[in-house]
Structure 1
Amino acid sequence: MARVTDSPPGLDLDALRKHLDDAVPGLVTGPLDGAVIAGGRSNLTYTVTDGVTTWVVRRPPLGHVLATAHDMGREHRVMAALHGTAVPVPAMVHLCLDADVIGAPFYVMEHVRGAVLRDPESLAALGPERVRALAFRLMDTLADLHAVDPAAVGLHDFGRPDGFNARQVSRWRRQLDGSRSRDLPGIDALAGRLAATAPEVSAASIVHGDFRLDNTLVDTAHGDRVAAVLDWEMSTLGDPLADLGLHVLYLGTPMPAARGSHDPVTTVPGHPTTEQLITRYAERSGRDCTGLGWYTAMSAFKLAVILEGVHYRYTQGKTVGAGFDTIGARVQPLVDRGLAALPREQG
């Protein structure tokens, strides 16, 4: 991560310092230095330091912000609510919804030490035994999230679980329409089949919405514990199997931020099979995990739409950082994977 002396793209450090001095007096003790944290393809994330303390700042991407996406208040609220539960999240420091301060709403949170394992090589470096233990620990973290009582942490009104799956199809159809710039064979057929077969939610929970290994920080210096779950921009109340279906999709698909090898993470020596991880989640959560085909297909559609939105922003010159030129090529395989995941009798 390259350091910078001037303000990084999208974050005016002088304006941030002035605002924090007024809103949280005494928090900042000197001039701010900041850098973009590489790897993200949606909201922008920065490390910011005054030379004594380091924080993390999150803001929406530059340009082309779709309705309901990139909600800073929502991310801040869910992490503030989960802090202190079995789900590891950073402590929240400050939320600013005034877009005039830096050009967009943003929030500041605690900087948590840990590694982001973005690719098979980084994971394989742990060795087979640690890889296996970490993969199961991630499943336990997901089950712990789904065990949190939303009402007990003040999130009773965080979403509408009834009709969640059908609304998800409609929502991501709308997001797709907001980012259409080319033909994607089969994507409308996939959306139609998902809408026609959407299951009812059996037992609602807090849903992360993008749960995967590289949306966590792993404390490799202290037993490979999951130090923090990050990137809550799509969290809501809904069907927990949506998180599981997406995680299953990621297990068999190169991660969107992957570098180096493009092999699925399940090919890393020591990594459990998808079936073993589903069994672990089912045992830990007590949930019925049959019928995951629809959820995996829905996840493929959702991820295809997300990456198509990133590709659209790239074509408009609205992205920051490297690697965006390869995102567009990853959309069509996800559409094909989604169609293949739906049981034939549902077609």
Structure 2
Amino acid sequence: MTAFATETVPVRLYQAHSRPAWRRILLTREAAIIGILALVIVVALASVPSFDSPLTVTYLLRDLAPILLIALPMTLIIITEEIDLSVASIVGLSSVMTGILTQAGLPFPVAAVLAIVVGTVAGAFNGFLVTVVGLPSLAVTIGTLALFRGIAVGLLGTTAITDFPEEWTDLAKANIPGTPIPMIMIPFVVLAIVFAVVLHFTPFGRSLYAIGLNKEAAHFSGIDVGRTKFTLFVLSGAMSGFAGVYFTLLYSNARGDNATGMELQIIAAVLLGGVSIFGGRGALHGVIAGVLLIGTLGSALRLAGVTSDIINVITGVLLILSVVSASLLAWLQKRRVAAIGKRRGKRAAERAATANPTQ
């Protein structure tokens, strides 16, 4: 008789659908973040001066718009157990390209489209290094973070371009008529709906979770892992390019150091919103709530007179707690599943002993 040795690959299982529907909806990290966001808003409205001003809502959403936009593809990337740390540098690079091309005399729409193309190419470069060359995304995007930022700063040096068509800067700062909500929220909502439908209701979205849970199993089930990840990095670059154009118009300023540090805010919000840093888990509504929670908390604290250093500390603590809590919940879930299996095995052994008593 011939024995065949097989190599077993550890598989992480996603247990969410083993629970009743009401528990899957209400007893989740996403629901908890939404609840905390609502609590922060209520407390801020009751205790922070001027927090209920329409201007507060306007400036808050304007500032959060680039983060919200980039958080959409970042969510998909982290679900596949990858990461993109170069997004803020792509924002800066596309901002510089917008300024240079506009200054060169190109019509602003053409300059904006070319700047988005530059962001898309930068994302494709990241995707090529990760999926074709086979380098870790963490190492790749740390390198391109410095590379793209260096190119942006090198193109303009310490100077800034501030001369942009007034009709476009006014549009970037405009609100939806009769509301304090910026116009930029319209394309964001449309994009958020598209990303949510793709992630949660299409085979492509399900393939992202499969890749994050176990890329080897996903590959053998017919998913093109490399092409899927490459597509996500291209999307990330394109969205970062679009955010860079908006950032330039909003502040009427094209500089190589625009959006420095934004990547940390984006990743913090995505993780806080319930996306697992280990891949395979997350929902877009939780991420949007995470972005709004960090932004709302920061805005309330600034209005209350808290310094930026303290706000950064609080944001860092929230990020650490989100990662630790995810790991703790996963550990508890594993213990629970193991305990249930042990009890079932014990009951099965008892039934077998009862059915076949020892003579």
Q: What TM-score results when the alignment is normalised by the length of structure 1?
A: 0.27
Which of the pair is proportionally richer in helix?
2
Which of the pair is proportionally richer in strand?
1
Rg comparison, structure with higher value: 2
Q: Larger relative contact order (C-alpha < 8 A, sep ≥ 6)? A: 2
Q: What TM-score results when the alignment is normalised by the length of structure 2?
A: 0.26
